Amino acid sequence: MKRVVLLHLLIMPLLLCLAKAEDLVNDPNYKARCKVCHGANAEGKPQMKIPALKTRADRNEAELTKAIEDGNPTSTPKMPTFKDKLTAEDIKTLVAEIKALK
Ligand code: HEC
């Protein structure tokens, strides 16, 4: 039993690093909170200045985390803040999934 728990602790972070390109759009948090703006395939809405997330896959973890936590209150439309709506773990997963888009 103990071994199973240990195995999970070892494998979970590994899975996060190995996020695949299709993971983002299948993430329940993406579907519930991001899809409405960034699109079913994360293609964005260029005519509304909502970026395709693939174009942000090169950003580092800190930049992406901040972008999701704080949003951009000055853009039109606004990128909302998610630090009160998602857990740090959820955001970390989204960041790994965005990075996997490149
Ligand atoms: C209300 C529409 C809306 C929703 C919902 C939304 N976004 Fe955005 N997002 C935007 C807009 C608009 C921008 C462009 C902001 C800018 O120009 O700086 C953006 C930009 C971004 C960027 C790039 C930030 C940068 O610095 O370039 C990331 C990453 C991102 N969104 C991720 C997400 C994630 C993940 C979610 C869901 C948790 C989400 N967005 C939900 C509208 C939205």
Q: Per residue in 2-53, pLDDT tens?
A: 777 777 777 666 666 678 989 999 999 999 999 999 999 999 999 999 999 9
Atom 40, ligand 1: residue with shortest CA distance: 34
CA–CA gap between residue 32 and residue 38 (Å, rounded): 11
**102, 101, 97: which is closest to 16 by C-alpha?**
97
Query: Using an 8 Å Cβ cutoff, are 18 and 95 in contact?
Result: no
Mutation test of ligand 1: which of 43, 79, 101, 102 has the most ligand atoms closer than 8 Å to its C-beta?
79
The CA 81 to ligand 1 mean position distance, Å, reads 9
Query: Using an 8 Å Cβ cutoff, are 48 and 38 in contact?
Result: no
Taking the CA of residue 84 as centre, how many other CA atoms within 13 Å lie in the half-sphere pointing to its CB? Answer: 2
**96, 98, 92: which is closest to 18 by C-alpha?**
96
Q: What tens digit of pLDDT does each residue of 41-92 get?
A: 999 999 999 999 999 999 999 999 999 999 999 999 999 999 999 999 999 9
Atom 7, ligand 1: residue with shortest CA distance: 79
Atom 19, ligand 1: residue with shortest CA distance: 79
